A and B are shown apart, each in its own frame.
Chain A
């Protein structure tokens, strides 16, 4: 079974909650799909068993010993990545989308593609099972595809080691890395917070999971920062027929736990927030739900 914890808005507490859920498991595969800000490995310090190169895309470069300065490629580029600079044709590394059209149309064959190959895919074991995570190298793109690769690897390792449950820590937003995280999963836990921003972002992520037909429940984190908005979120979810499975209080022990290298469930298993998180765990681990 594949379950993802996602949030729409960043910083709602998604990763801390995911870490605590993982700590309640005995036999789990935890995969970090937040590939441009992977954090679970910091907390759980997995023993790495494999490291693989992820080619995130390609960039076009010009061989100036061949280029005859015809400028044709400038007109073909739909990304405005090619222009005249320093009295020659130059391709902006930042704007190049890696589509290869310039390489194909260059009449003298002066353009070739080079791989962006600094991103990595890791897998290993940690104290509650196996962990798979991707790290997108700074500035590299295609985080959505790296997420797909993380999921493929997660499913493979889970099968090899008979892990029944795969838990994904998702990226923020509603774009390609999120869509890659939730496509075809069994259920999603959506973490929001009691603020206007949290509520607005929740509406967008709920539409997204609906669009892809994923069964989901909502967790309102830091509900006591604004009880009125927490109430409004609950009403809103009710109108959409979506269960609010837990309301977690704002608690400074979450940060203290993180600083000490533990999930908050490991740090304070009897605290209110830990006990309430168990409700989320029972939703996740119940195969019938």
Chain B
């Protein structure tokens, strides 16, 4: 079995990313195909709502190394402030006032290199947690979760995906948007499924995601959710640009109501389950043909 890592993503929020990711994963559970789902939406993780019976296996805290300035040794040479590309060091040499704004620090280490006076010491700052749960015998759920007030979720996401490195079939539930958290998730996937809805907002955000993935040279396809709302512009865009439409999911109040309660559609409906399994097989076969 060759490994397959699929990211489920979308530019626009609320298009049904987690819906698609959890339903594919659920279809794999029901078919006894070993797999792992990773919730990479570390700012607002939701996958856990659907797998409350998971058994916690490991919990890891994710840290970055931030500077602490020893003022008794600091000569106020200003080099560390000049080296910092994130404005995380605030320094007024004339007042001999220096401080670190930890929330702006990216942990790049430049200030440590800059200091010639041994006046900077490292401190571990926690950004969030990665938890790995076991579901049944052959399935795992990994969650990335940042602490409140943390600026960037990227390090926690990277750690969560790294936690799945031994697993064969991996579904990554990506954060929304097209900036750093999305890029770092998509970068680690073999294939990206973009979930969208056929509305003007959905289309605008999809184009943004498509352009990003093209730049990254990453293979991708599109799932249109709530396929019968909105208008036809989305379908035309996909046709004109030769972008593969992997699947259409109709809008259904029943699906929305069930989902709102944390019930997975592919548990209740065998037909739906087969469709999500087909979607997975289709992508897998394409990657390893």
Contact = CB atoms under 8 A, between A and B. Distances in A.
Interface residues of B, number: 61
Given A173-B44, A194-B260, A204-B43, A94 B183 contact: yes
A39 B177 CA distance: 12
A139 B215 contact: yes
A175 interface: yes
B180 interface: yes
B14 A175 contact: no
Nearest to B218: A94
B201 A42 contact: yes
B94 to A, nearest CB: 25
Given A104-B113, A171-B177, A200 B46 contact: yes
A207 interface: yes
Contact of B199 (A78, A172, A207, A258): A258
B82 to A, nearest CB: 10
Contacts of B36: none
Contacts of B209: 138
A202 to B, nearest CB: 10
A46 interface: no
A277 interface: no
A37 B109 CA distance: 32
Interface residues on A, range: 35 or more
Contacts of B176: 10, 37, 172-173
Given A139-B212, A173-B175, A97 B148 contact: no
Nearest to A197: B46
A10 B43 contact: no
Contact of B106 (A95, A99, A138, A174): A99
A197 B49 contact: yes
B177 A204 contact: no
B216 A139 contact: yes
Interface stretch (A140-148, A240-248, A280-288): A140-148
Given A11-B13, A173-B44, A173-B175, A37 B205 contact: yes
Interface stretch (B70-78, B134-142, B149-157, B265-273): B149-157
B200 interface: yes
Given A10-B12, A78-B108, A100-B85, A139 B177 contact: no
Given A138-B211, A197-B46, A252-B229, A226 B257 contact: yes
Contacts of B231: 259
A105 interface: yes
B164 interface: no
Contacts of B219: none
Nearest to B112: A101
B25 to A, nearest CB: 16
B15 interface: yes
A201 B46 contact: yes
Given A78-B107, A141-B179, A258-B199, A201 B44 contact: yes
Given A12-B13, A258-B230, 18 more contacts: A9-B14, A10-B12, A10-B14, A11-B12, A94-B187, A94-B216, A97-B106, A98-B85, A101-B108, A105-B113, A138-B209, A139-B178, A139-B212, A142-B180, A173-B177, A175-B43, A179-B151, A212-B149
Interface of B: 11-15, 18, 41, 43-44, 46, 49, 83, 85-86, 106-110, 113-114, 146, 148-153, 175-184, 187, 199-201, 204-205, 208-209, 211-212, 214-216, 229-231, 253, 256-257, 259-262
